[in-house]
């Protein structure tokens, strides 16, 4: 499995961020598909709803922006999710977060009922102000910092800066997961490993049904009540 991912060259990673902003045909494995065309919210809806939020999430200057300010999960417009569910995939995106900000890109979102009060649980590529965000009156532990699988597996990286654009990549192939940040692999884990299982056991997801074994779900952009911007969001099914 590791050999398979090594064959995905650094050059392919770079070119994935420079594809033209056009929507490719869906359901084409091995081909890049834009999840955001830079002009509309086509392909997205509000979590637990059929339509797209009328306020909070806007398209400006080729960016999908969360103009959010409540400072809590789903306190403004709520999360947004892709119309489609994904199983094995490579997802790339660029993002910019403000000072003291908090957000995330989640995958394997199932939208289980009843609807949670905050954000839907899923595997979260954490986006946060690593150095300035205060959690429970303390600075963040490593597994709550940017590019970690939130509260489960910590990313191996220095603190990410805010108010600049970053590039990120999530790669999922069966039980194997990689997180990349700014062209560097910062996390690699197999969900069947004791490291992952213990991470879930000691996380807030311990009571979530079969969290370590979810195989398919939506991609989610989180409303955590802080301004966030995304662009060049693309996915390739594997």
- Give the C-alpha separation, 52 to 80, whole Å: 8
Q: Is the pLDDT of residue 145 over 50?
A: yes
Residue 8 in tokens = 């995905």
State the chain's mean pLDDT as an integer: 88
pLDDT at 120: 86
Which DSSP category does 13 fall into? H
pLDDT at 226: 85
Burial profile 207-222: b = 16 or more Cβ within 10 angstroms, e = fewer: eeeebbebeebbbbbb
Q: Is the pLDDT of residue 16 over 70?
A: no
pLDDT at 71: 64
Segment 83-89 shows an average pLDDT of 98
pTM for this prediction: 0.87
39/140: higher pLDDT: 39
Domains and CATH numbers, the chain: 2-237 (2.60.120.560)
């Amino acid at each position: 499995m590791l050999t398979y991912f090594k064959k995905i060259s650094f050059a392919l990673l770079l070119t994935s961020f420079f594809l033209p902003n056009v929507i490719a045909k869906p359901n084409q494995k091995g081909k890049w598909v834009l999840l955001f065309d830079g002009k509309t919210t086509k392909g997205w809806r509000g979590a637990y709803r059929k339509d797209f939020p009328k306020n909070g999430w806007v398209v400006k200057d080729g960016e999908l922006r969360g103009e959010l300010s409540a400072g809590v999960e789903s306190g403004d417009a709520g999360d947004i999710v892709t119309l489609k569910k994904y199983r094995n995939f490579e997802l790339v995106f660029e993002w910019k977060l403000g000072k003291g900000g908090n957000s995330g890109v989640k995958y394997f979102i199932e939208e289980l009922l009843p609807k949670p009060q905050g954000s839907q649980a899923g595997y979260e590529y954490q986006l946060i102000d690593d150095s300035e965000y205060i959690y429970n009156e303390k600075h963040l532990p490593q597994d709550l910092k940017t590019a970690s699988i939130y509260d489960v597996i910590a990313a191996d990286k220095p603190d990410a800066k805010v108010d600049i654009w970053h590039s990120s990549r999530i790669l999922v192939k069966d039980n194997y997961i990689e997180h990349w940040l700014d062209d560097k692999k910062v996390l690699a884990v197999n969900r069947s490993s004791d490291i992952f299982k213990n991470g879930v056991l000691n996380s807030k997801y311990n009571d979530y049904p079969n969290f370590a074994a979810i195989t398919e779900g939506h991609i989610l952009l989180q409303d955590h009540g802080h301004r966030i911007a995304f662009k060049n969001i693309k996915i390739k099914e594997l």
